[in-house]
Structure 1
Amino acid sequence: MSDRVAVVGMSIRAAKVQSAADFWRLLITGRSGRREIDPTELMRRRVPSHKYKDPAYVPVAYDMEDCLGFDPQAFGFGPSEAELTDPQHRAVLEACYRAVESSGCFIGSLPDRVGVFVGSRKSGYGTQIEYLSAAAGRDVNLAELAIGTDPDYLSSRISYTYGLTGPSMTVLTACSSSSVAVHLACQAILAGECDSALAGGVALDATDAGYTFTAGGIYSPRGRCEPYMASADGTVEGNGVAVLFLRRLDVALAAGNPILGVIAGTAVNNDGRERAGFTAPGVAGQSELIEEALDVAELRASSIGLLEGHGSGTSIGDALEIDAAIQAFRSTGAGTDECRLHSVKANIGNLTAAAGAASIIGCLLALRHGQIPPNASLVEGAPPTDLGGTPFKLADTPIAWQRSDQGRYAAVSSFGLGGTNAHVIIGDAERELRLASRKGRYWQLLPLSADDPERLSGTVDAVRVVVDESSTEVRQDIGHTLRTGRPELPTRAAALIPVDAGSADGKWLAPEQFHTVPEVPPTLVFLLPGETVRAPDVALALYRAEPAFRSTVDDGLEVMKQVLAPEMFAAVRDAFLHGRYPTATNALQPVLHLLGLGQHAFLSDLEISPDLLIGHGVGELTAAQLSGVLSFEDAARAVCWRSQAMADPSEHAEAVVRFTRRMRDVRLNSPTTPTLSCVSGAWLTSEEARDPGYWGAQLGEPGPFDEVLRSVVSEHPTAVYLQLNSGTNLLQGAQRWGVPEDAAVALASDGEASDSWCSLLQAVGSLWEQGVRINWQSYAERDHALRVDIAPRTFGRIPHLHPSLLEHCPGIDPAELSGKRVS
């Protein structure tokens, strides 16, 4: 078992940040999400005038856009349940989904035990609802309110929603909550309590419209959070959510997850009483913490290129933090000006319970991009504190951070009010750990889905753009991720792309061709024709491309070699080995049988199985084998006997007698899958299936097959009809009786034979579009790669707020309560 933990996914939303990409743009340009709120907006938000006209009022916020927006249906909520759920709980629920999604996985189908460790800021959402509802004489479900707002249920609600069975706990240590959560998650993974974990925090106040500062307090009277600046005069709380998806390194590598970084070491302690007071930081505790984390990571301080400090922006807090860091770094071998000091609080404010996770994400992005971002306060013109002669240096421009043989490391400090401290050291994953074997088909099948056609259209367009810009390897990664790492939503479109050509060479569906799947998977009917369309390369292409097909054909050839004359056997074999189709009936029918069985083997590996079987001519013998009437060996012999009987005697009656006599030598069973009788025009009975005379009659005069097909279609009008072998002749008959074109699927079309392999995969995509279940994990046995962050699910953004708060909760922006958005 690996003794290291990898970060494989991340999610962040904050001021002017809706994604990790947004966050990096904010960091690298040294910009801030700080926003000044004008009196007009304050009036609109019903902030009392006496409050915002107070000289001590600071109308500044680091507000998270669309903080009330939520998609209840996507998370299994009803509308009233969403209203009774704190926006913090809703935001972190979505952030957990996004963090796993960014790793190329779907949170609803993770195979391992997943823990949940998250923290939150104190909230009055539930208290206000209870008080205001009581004052208005309205009843409120207090149990639902508690579940939706109390921190006790924050983590367990996530575990329940997604079916996660690892340790689940809410971490409340003030501003160090999410870093402590990361520490606990790593400990749980390393102890074997879980293989993966979600760790992070949320700090969200929908009423944030500024604050009133108190002289000598911790909040900035200027409304500026300026860590490590001489002008720093206090902190400013921000709003946001940040979550990391952690996995044991060997599990992450086996799954092909992106390795964003490796947790080299973590430590947690408390200052105890060695400080001026309960709310004062402790230099000794902080210094010891850093030294302990370095020791756990087996590193010297000289290895740390970036210290993402706590950086609250209070003059005392920053000074004590720097003193503690200097002591720890010098005692463990750091030189002068070796480490860049930074704090994301200058960019997004103090996210309190989410601050540590946001800082870790900032470090991971710096590692990914090979740049250390500048200090936003410096970029905005604030004067820096004097760090001369210390191990640290501030920057007003991005600094290149090159890879080295010794690796690159960043450290994150988080210090909670009350003295609970956490330090996390993150390192590069070695290059060889990021490489994994890829095994892919030339054509990549891309199953794309969304909640509705509008969202799917956007997803298809976005994926198409990425495909155009991607290499062969990345296209394989895209295909693998879409097949095994995304939810199967109701509106679907399957694309097919070649791995080494532009997306224009692929097959993409237009919005009018999208499918909405039924709630219950459709009935699937296999059609097995008794004659073949001349497409010489069909058998050859599939024999070369698909192991399951090839193995089944080889097994059938071994049986047929004992039955057929040498020249006839050679003709059958050459159809698959060289693509030369025979003309003689006694070779054509065995080829047709093996072609159908090989295709069925490929489909069976994907757990695609028929609900009904319809065979015409020799295809009924193939159907008999698929339904269990005949064994594999007996079916292969019977097809050879039938083809010989049809080819040799001059009299048709003699052929029937001869074949019937042969069928007495095989074991005949009852069908396990409903199979159509072409003799009676009804479903094959057990008595008929076990009667050798029936199979002789089946060789005789064919029944009215078209009328039989008509009755089946009438009985199963919403079924999907799949023709095996090649061509579309039986499908055309089904369509004459009302089967829609998109419900008539051919495994090998009438087109160019060279498209046979592509056609097979396209058929799988068509089945999936219509709701037939596909085992994509089995598909990955033949076609797997790495996982990438592609095609994020589009969530609806409908604002939800409890009715009692609409008129009695100053600070909420009415603009947040209007409009439907997606993101």
Structure 2
Amino acid sequence: MSDRVAVVGMSIRAANVRNTADFWRLISTGRSGRQEISPEDLARRGVPERRYKNPAYVPVEFPMADALACDLRAFGFTRPEAELTDPQHRVMLEACYRAVESSGCFIGSLPDRVGVFLGSRTTDYGARIEYRSAAADRDLDTAGLAIGTDPDYMSSRISYAYGLTGPSMTVLTACSSSSVAVHLACQAILAGECDAALAGGVAVNVRDAGYLFAENGIYSPRGRCEPYTAAADGTVDGNGVAVLFLRRLDAALAAGNPILGVVTGTAVNNDGRERAGFTAPGVAGQTELIEEALDVAELSASAIGLLEGHGSGTRIGDALEIEAATQAFRSSGAEAGECRLHSVKANIGNLTAAAGAAGIIGSLLALKHGEIPPNAPLVAGGTPTDLRGTPFSLADRPTPWPRSDRGRYAAVSSFGLGGTNAHVVIGDAEREVRLAERKGRSWQLLPLSADDPERLAATVDAARETVAGATADTRRDIGHTLRTGRPQLTTRATALIPVDGSAADVRWPARERFHAAPEGPPALVFMLPGDDVPAPDAARALYEAEPVFRATVDDGLAVMEEVLAPETFAAVRDAFRHGASRQDGLADTPLTTRPVLHLLATGQHAFLADLGIGPDLLVGHGVGELTAARLSGVLSSEDAARAVCRRAQTLADAHEGAEAAVRFTRQMREVRLHAPTTPTLSSATGTWLTAEEACDPGYWGAQPGEPAAPDDAVRTLAAEHPGAVCLQLGGGTSLLRAARLAGAAEDTTLAVLPEGEAAPGHSLLRTVGDLWERGIRIDWDAYAERDHARRIDTLPREFDRTPCLHPVLQDHGPGTDPAERTGKQVGR
């Protein structure tokens, strides 16, 4: 078991930030999501005039978009349940989903025991619902309201919604909540209580529209959060959510997760009474905290290139924080000015319960991009605080942070009102992580799904854009991630993309080609033809492309070599290994086409079976009945191969008539026959093959020639299984045409190798995609045995953005933007 914890996924939303890419653009350019609110806008939001005209009122905000939005279906809510649920809890459901999704995994099917450690800001959402309901004399589900709004239930809601079975707890230590959550999550992973964990926090006030400041209070009278500057005069609350997905390092490496960083040390303490008052910070406690975290990480302070400080922006708080960090760093050998000091609070405001996780995400992004962001107030022309003689420096521009043999490390401080402090040290991923193995096919199958056609169309567009600029390795990563790390939603489409070559050659699915998968998988019918000759080189293309197909064909060829005449066997073999032989028309005779069809079908079946795709029903025509007998267990693979060769000879000697039938019957008495394990339709009787018929050599011997058509059998199939998906193995579409004439829908009749089409080696991959689109279950983990790569953050799920607010608050939510209450849009 590894003694280290990796960060493999993360998500963040805040002011002007919908994802980590937005967050990096914001902090790397030193911009801010702060907004000033005009009196007209305040009035439109229902803020009382007496409030916003108060001289102490500060009309600024750090708003998070779509704070009221909720995808009811995706997160398993009824609308009444969602209306009773604090928007913070709903936002957190999506944030946890996104954090896992960014690791290339689906939160609903994680194999590990996953813990949940989350913090939240206190809000009055539940209290206002209770008050307004009582005022309107409306009934209220008080138990549902408690579950939906009390912080006690936030983490356990996440565990329940996604089936996570590790430790689950809400962490409330004010502004250090999410950093303490990270500490607890790492401890749980290292203690073996769980293999992975979600850790973070949320701070969303849907009524945020400015505040009243008090003299000598913690809030800025200017409405500006400017940590570590001469003008710093207080903090400004922001709105946002930040979550990290942590996993034991060895497990993350084995799963191919992205390793965003490694947590090398964490520490938590409390100042006790060694401070001026309960709300005052303590230098001694902060100093001891940083020293302890560095000791756990086994690092000297000189190794820390970035200190993401608490940075509240208050004069006293910033000064005491710098003093404590200076003492801790000096005691560990740090030199003057060698560590950059930064705080994302200047960019997104003080996210309180989510602030620490936001700081960690900012630091991880700095490691990823090899650049330390500038201090936002300095970019805007602010004057830095005096750091002479300290180990720290500030900058008004990005600073390069290249990799080195010594590694790169960042440290993040979080100090909660009341004295609970946390410090987290993170470092680079290891060398072997960057050399992770990729192994895959030259074509990548992309399963794309969404909750409805509109969102699937957006996903297809995003996939086209992503693939266009991707390298060969990244295309493999995209394919692997979509196959093994995404939910299988109801509206589906697939695309095949070349690993090398132009993405312009890809046929992206148009909207009219989208499929709606049924709730349960439909019945799957394998149809086995007897006389459909595949296109030239079709057999060889599959033989060269797929090892499982090739191994099955080789086994069959080894048996057929004992039965067929040498020149006939050479033609059959050459159809797979050297290209079809056309000498003297030999390849177009039953002596060769029937064995080739049989080997094609059994090879295709083996490939599909390896992915967990098997027939619920079988129907064969002519020689195809013998192939069906092989797939249903009536005949062994060796006996089926011999029987097909003998049937081919019978067809070549059709002039012998009854004598040939007597000789087949006699030959079938020499093999062991079994009852079918898969229901099989008989083309001879048009009904289901019975155990007695299957075990009777006379049944098989009575078919020296080919039936004219399997019409009766196909009609039986269409009548009894109208919703079945029919797949013709081997080659051609003759049985599919019969099925369509009997009433089967064209959309549910598929062929591996349709006649008249080129037969590329990825025909089987296209078939897998066709089946998946129609609701057939695929074992994507088995697929990955042959085709795997890294898991990456790509093509996130499209969520619905419909606002959800309790009815009693629709007209009684001063501060909430009316557009946020009623608007609807679709977005990522």
Specify the TM-score bucket, using the shorter chain as the normaliser.
over 0.9
Cα shift readout 1:29-49 (whole Å, capped 9, x = no counterpart): 111111111111111222111
Letter in 2 for 1:779: Y
Cα shift readout 1:394-431 (whole Å, capped 9, x = no counterpart): 11111111111111111100001111111011111123
Asked whether 1:808 is paired with 2:808, we answer no
The alignment partner of 2:85 has SS state of coil
The offset of 1:699, in angstroms, is 2.8
Letter in 1 for 2:523: T
- 1:608 maps to what in 2? 613
Name the CA distance, whole Å, in 1 between partners of 2:775 and 2:567. 45
The alignment partner of 2:65 has SS state of coil
The offset of 1:371, in angstroms, is 1.0
Name the CA distance, whole Å, in 2 between partners of 1:198 and 1:712. 50
- 1:28 maps to what in 2? 28
Cα shift readout 1:507-548 (whole Å, capped 9, x = no counterpart): 221111111112222221111110132423222222222121
Name the CA distance, whole Å, in 2 between partners of 1:27 and 1:3. 32
Cα shift readout 1:378-401 (whole Å, capped 9, x = no counterpart): 112222110012110011111111
Name the CA distance, whole Å, in 2 between partners of 1:44 and 1:584. 83
Could you tell me whether the CA contact under 8 Å between 2:11 and 2:19 is conserved in 1? yes
Cα shift readout 1:692-724 (whole Å, capped 9, x = no counterpart): 111112334625423432342243332211110
The alignment partner of 2:763 has SS state of helix
- 1:797 maps to what in 2? 801
- 1:230 maps to what in 2? 230
Could you tell me whether the CA contact under 8 Å between 1:617 and 1:699 is conserved in 2? no
Tell me which moved more, 44-53 or 738-747. Answer: 738-747
Name the CA distance, whole Å, in 2 between partners of 1:567 and 1:589. 15
1:681 is matched with which residue: 654, 677, 686? 686
- 1:618 maps to what in 2? 623
Report 1:734-773 matches (<5 A): 734-751=739-756, 753=758, 755-773=759-777
Name the CA distance, whole Å, in 2 between partners of 1:500 and 1:562. 42
Name the CA distance, whole Å, in 2 between partners of 1:782 and 1:736. 38
Letter in 2 for 1:768: W
Tell me which moved more, 61-70 or 428-437. Answer: 428-437
The alignment partner of 1:757 has SS state of coil
The offset of 1:100, in angstroms, is 0.7
The alignment partner of 2:680 has SS state of coil
The offset of 1:350, in angstroms, is 0.4
The offset of 1:274, in angstroms, is 1.1
1:694 is matched with which residue: 653, 674, 699? 699
1:774 is matched with which residue: 775, 778, 781? 778
Structure 1, unaligned runs of 5 or more: none
Name the CA distance, whole Å, in 1 between partners of 2:54 and 2:396. 35
Asked whether 1:590 is paired with 2:601, we answer no
Report 1:453-602 matches (<5 A): 453-580=453-580, 582-602=587-607
Could you tell me whether the CA contact under 8 Å between 2:268 and 2:289 is conserved in 1? yes
Name the CA distance, whole Å, in 2 between partners of 1:806 and 1:712. 56
The alignment partner of 2:740 has SS state of helix
Name the CA distance, whole Å, in 2 between partners of 1:478 and 1:749. 29
The alignment partner of 2:789 has SS state of coil
Name the CA distance, whole Å, in 2 between partners of 1:418 and 1:655. 96
Could you tell me whether the CA contact under 8 Å between 1:608 and 1:773 is conserved in 2? yes
Could you tell me whether the CA contact under 8 Å between 2:213 and 2:221 is conserved in 1? yes
The alignment partner of 2:801 has SS state of strand
- 2:273 maps to what in 1? 273
The offset of 1:649, in angstroms, is 6.8
- 2:724 maps to what in 1? 719
Report 1:10-159 matches (<5 A): 10-159=10-159
Structure 1 residues 595 and 701: CA distance shift in structure 2, 3 A: closer
Name the CA distance, whole Å, in 2 between partners of 1:699 and 1:717. 32
The offset of 1:585, in angstroms, is 2.6
- 2:652 maps to what in 1? 647
Name the CA distance, whole Å, in 1 between partners of 2:450 and 2:214. 49
- 2:640 maps to what in 1? 635
Cα shift readout 1:448-482 (whole Å, capped 9, x = no counterpart): 11111111111111111111111111111111111
Query: What is the TM-score when the length of structure 2 is the normalising length?
Result: 0.97
Tell me which moved more, 576-585 or 586-595. Answer: 576-585
- 2:584 maps to what in 1? none
Name the CA distance, whole Å, in 2 between partners of 1:751 and 1:435. 44
Could you tell me whether the CA contact under 8 Å between 1:681 and 1:703 is conserved in 2? no
Report 1:352-431 matches (<5 A): 352-431=352-431
Cα shift readout 1:696-753 (whole Å, capped 9, x = no counterpart): 1233462542343234224333221111011222222323334333322111232455
Could you tell me whether the CA contact under 8 Å between 1:748 and 1:756 is conserved in 2? no
Structure 2, unaligned runs of 5 or more: 582-586
Tell me which moved more, 550-559 or 169-178. Answer: 550-559
The alignment partner of 2:550 has SS state of helix
Tell me which moved more, 647-656 or 84-93. Answer: 647-656
Cα shift readout 1:192-212 (whole Å, capped 9, x = no counterpart): 111111110000111111111
Could you tell me whether the CA contact under 8 Å between 1:179 and 1:424 is conserved in 2? yes
The offset of 1:612, in angstroms, is 1.3
Cα shift readout 1:212-231 (whole Å, capped 9, x = no counterpart): 11111111111111111111
Letter in 2 for 1:774: I
The offset of 1:584, in angstroms, is 4.2
Report 1:175-214 matches (<5 A): 175-214=175-214
Could you tell me whether the CA contact under 8 Å between 2:476 and 2:789 is conserved in 1? yes
Letter in 1 for 2:221: P
Q: Among all aligned residue pairs of Structure 1 and Structure 2, give the percentage whose two residues are the same amino acid.
A: 73
Could you tell me whether the CA contact under 8 Å between 1:646 and 1:652 is conserved in 2? no
Report 1:697-708 matches (<5 A): 697-700=702-705, 702=707, 704-708=709-713
Name the CA distance, whole Å, in 1 between partners of 2:745 and 2:552. 32
The offset of 1:756, in angstroms, is 3.3
Name the CA distance, whole Å, in 2 between partners of 1:270 and 1:153. 25
The offset of 1:279, in angstroms, is 1.1
The alignment partner of 1:360 has SS state of helix
Letter in 2 for 1:440: G
Report 1:244-259 matches (<5 A): 244-259=244-259
The alignment partner of 1:636 has SS state of helix
Letter in 2 for 1:56: A
Name the CA distance, whole Å, in 1 between partners of 2:387 and 2:272. 28
Name the CA distance, whole Å, in 1 between partners of 2:613 and 2:686. 26
The alignment partner of 1:457 has SS state of helix
The offset of 1:307, in angstroms, is 0.4
Structure 1 residues 468 and 723: CA distance shift in structure 2, 3 A: same
Letter in 1 for 2:656: E
Query: What is the TM-score when the length of structure 1 is the normalising length?
Result: 0.98
Name the CA distance, whole Å, in 2 between partners of 1:534 and 1:74. 44
Structure 1 residues 803 and 649: CA distance shift in structure 2, 3 A: closer
Letter in 2 for 1:228: Y
Could you tell me whether the CA contact under 8 Å between 2:534 and 2:753 is conserved in 1? no
Could you tell me whether the CA contact under 8 Å between 2:545 and 2:762 is conserved in 1? no
1:728 is matched with which residue: 725, 733, 736? 733
The offset of 1:565, in angstroms, is 3.6
Could you tell me whether the CA contact under 8 Å between 2:622 and 2:706 is conserved in 1? no
Name the CA distance, whole Å, in 2 between partners of 1:416 and 1:294. 20
Could you tell me whether the CA contact under 8 Å between 2:521 and 2:777 is conserved in 1? yes
The offset of 1:158, in angstroms, is 0.2
The alignment partner of 1:74 has SS state of coil
